[in-house]
Chain A
Amino acid sequence: MIDVVSILSANILYVVLITLGGMLISLSVHFVPVGGAPAAMAQATGIGTGTVQLAAGAGLTGLVTAGAVMAVSDSLPLILAAGAVGAMIMMSVTMLVGAWVYTYGVGVPPASAKIKYDPITKDRQDLYVSQGTEGHGLPTVSYVSGVIGGLLGGIGGALVYYSLMSTSTGLTMTNLIGLASIFAVGIFFVNAVIPSYNIGGTIEGFHDPKFKKWPKAVFSSFIATFLSALVGVLAIGGL
């Protein structure tokens, strides 16, 4: 059997960093304007799909960009920045194309039903909300919030991947990349679903009243990720 104590004492920093990464991912989901099924029918503000799909799309792009930079550099800030930029680009493109579809395809103006004035542009919102809907499209504040979500999620994903890759192990590089990636993906999905249950599936961004619930999800993610980090570091460190 593996020597649990010595592996953990050698890699305790990485357990902490993975846990921190998981908490960042959990927080990032609260920033992403997830509209779910109602938004797909332009009856709620946000992008018309679920949290997991959005977080996975942005987070996995962040993992790919972080992994690509990791191949040429071992500077942690550079890897985190690469992950953040990758996830932000993916999130921005998704929201931009979504906004085109809502504006030119469905024919609705971007408007939020949760607030009267957009906190960033100060534009009036309630006049433009169609009757019987919870808003539609992506107002500026949701877009900015989504980009912040991409930033945090990308940093979190890159942190998890970097920590798993840095754990002391006897694995060859190819095997380590495979194993670290799939662990990072697993941890990412767990931390994307937990906040999704916290916000009840939909949120408009940081101006949404539901945003205030984030400490609950981050605390849950702290426990769940800490456990996953222990398991992941033990598995990789024991080989």
Chain B
Amino acid sequence: MSAGGEPAVAGGAVAPNKIIAFGILGGLIGIYAAHFLDSMISPVFSFMGALGAICAIVWGADAVRRVCSYGLGTGVPSIGMLALGMGVVASMFGLAVGGIAGPIIAFVSAAIIGLIIGVLANKVLGMNIPIMEQSMVEIAGAGALTIVGLSTTMAGTFMFEEVLTFVIAPGYIAVIFIAGGMGILHPFNACLGPDEHQDRTLTLGFEKGGIAMVIAGLVSAVAGSAAMLPTIMIGVFIWYTSFAKFYELTKRDSYKILGSGLLPSEEELQ
């Protein structure tokens, strides 16, 4: 899998810059590879878009992890929904006007919207989180790449006519919105606390990405230029591997695991 390997170092020592590079490069390479390999060689390669989206999801999850450790005053889900809200506006714009440069324009416009919201959050709303501007840029960018990546897998290309026909008009974009948002917001929301470790959180990001990939694969059955089976099979593989890894890391980080059994019956209570 192109996942680049889950961060294996205990305690989570993967530097933010590495994950940013992994998310941007992995995301864009996956999206463009899906588009070109799909049109030149075979629709089988449409799964590459979802791999790109997984890179972006993991990056987004790490950015959420960094900014939310400051305490937003509200729940973690809000920032995931903000990411996808900014991302969907930027990515629809990018794909609609950009043509072959669509994903890049989507990414850049998401970064601009993110920067402005980050500045507003710190300067006007007075949140005073030192990394707010950078994190908002990252989260919006990750949201845009996630949407473009999953759309590319569903439609087999990121050309706007096909995306409009196969993803937006039937409403599958709403599925991307929630599945992608879950991928970005859920890992930290589920793992937060004093015992939170980067590797466990990001492994959960891969796992959510796997689920999003399987869903994108199911949807891609309707588009002629996208292949369903490879996407679903690779998605299930990523989901299973990362879920097993996540379970292992959860056992590693927990103090003790005890089976509590089922609830006692009425007779046993007496």
Contact = CB atoms under 8 A, between A and B. Distances in A.
Interface of A: 1-2, 36-37, 50-53, 56, 171, 174-175, 177-179, 181-183, 185-190, 192-194, 196-198, 200-202, 216-217, 219-220, 223-224, 227-228, 231-232, 234-236, 238-239
Contact of B75 (A186, A201, A217): A201
B177 A220 contact: no
B170 interface: yes
B164 interface: yes
A52 B121 CA distance: 16
Closest 10 A/B residue pairs (Cβ):
A201-B74, A189-B85, A200-B73, A235-B96, A186-B88, A193-B82, A178-B169, A178-B168, A220-B120, A190-B85
Given A37-B75, A185-B174, A186-B89, A219 B168 contact: no
Q: Please classify the interface of chain A as helix (H, G, I), strand (E, B), loop, or mixed, using the class held by over half of its residues.
A: helix
Given A220-B125, A235-B97, A190 B117 contact: yes
Contacts, number: 133
Contacts of A228: 89, 113
A186 B86 contact: yes
A174 B160 CA distance: 15
Nearest to A34: B74
A235 B160 CA distance: 11
Contacts of B113: 224, 227-228, 231
Given A183-B88, A224-B116, 19 more contacts: A2-B97, A182-B88, A182-B173, A183-B92, A186-B84, A189-B84, A190-B85, A190-B89, A192-B81, A193-B82, A194-B120, A196-B74, A201-B75, A217-B125, A220-B125, A223-B116, A227-B112, A231-B90, A231-B109
B209 to A, nearest CB: 21
Contacts of A51: 74, 78
B93 A234 contact: yes
Nearest to A50: B75
A182 B177 contact: yes
Contact of A175 (B81, B127, B169): B169
B82 A178 contact: no
B72 interface: yes
Contacts of B121: 194, 197, 220
B42 interface: no
A217 to B, nearest CB: 7
